[in-house]
Amino acid sequence: MCVILSVEHYEWVATNNFADGGLPGTLPEYSHKSLELPGGVSSSGRPYPDVMSYGQREYGKRVGIFRVMDILDKYEIKATVAIDASTASNYPFLIKQFQQRGYEIMAHGIAVNQMISSKMTQDEERNHIRLSI
């Protein structure tokens, strides 16, 4: 999920900052997979499912996006939100928040780790785009 500001002119003043130095984002690496997978060890060496990593990946959808929306609300800025289909279907409350604020929603693929590739046929690419909307 990423946020693109739609403004005619916006000047960033050096004294303006976000708590973490930038816009919070999220890369839901496993957003299209069930969390109910068999146990084991993750690539981090922690037990699987790696609850700590899942929690870090969820930050943007649980906390970060609301901090960004608060700032956009404060300055009455409408945003264009690029969101993948998996995140949109798993977090419908975010879609409602975007709609209530009058944000434009832009399709951004099926899931962050399922991207269009040059190895796809035209039919596979069309299907990917269809599922993204």
pLDDT band at 3 (very low <50, low <70, confident <90, very high): low
Q: Which domain covers residue 60, as residue numbers?
A: 2-7+45-132
Share of the chain above pLDDT 70, in %: 67
The answer to whether residue 78 sits within a structural domain is yes
pLDDT of res. 130: 95
The answer to whether residue 29 sits within a structural domain is no
Give the chain's domain count: 1
pTM above 0.85, yes or no: no
pLDDT of res. 28: 46
Q: Is the pLDDT of residue 29 over 70?
A: no
The answer to whether residue 105 sits within a structural domain is yes
The answer to whether residue 121 sits within a structural domain is yes
Q: State the SS3 of the chain.
A: CEEEECCCCCCCCCCCCCCCCCCCCCCCCCCCCCCCCCCEECCCCCEECCHHHHHHHHHHHHHHHHHHHHHHHHCCCCEEEEECHHHHHHCHHHHHHHHHCCCEEEECCCECCECCCCCCCHHHHHHHHHHHC
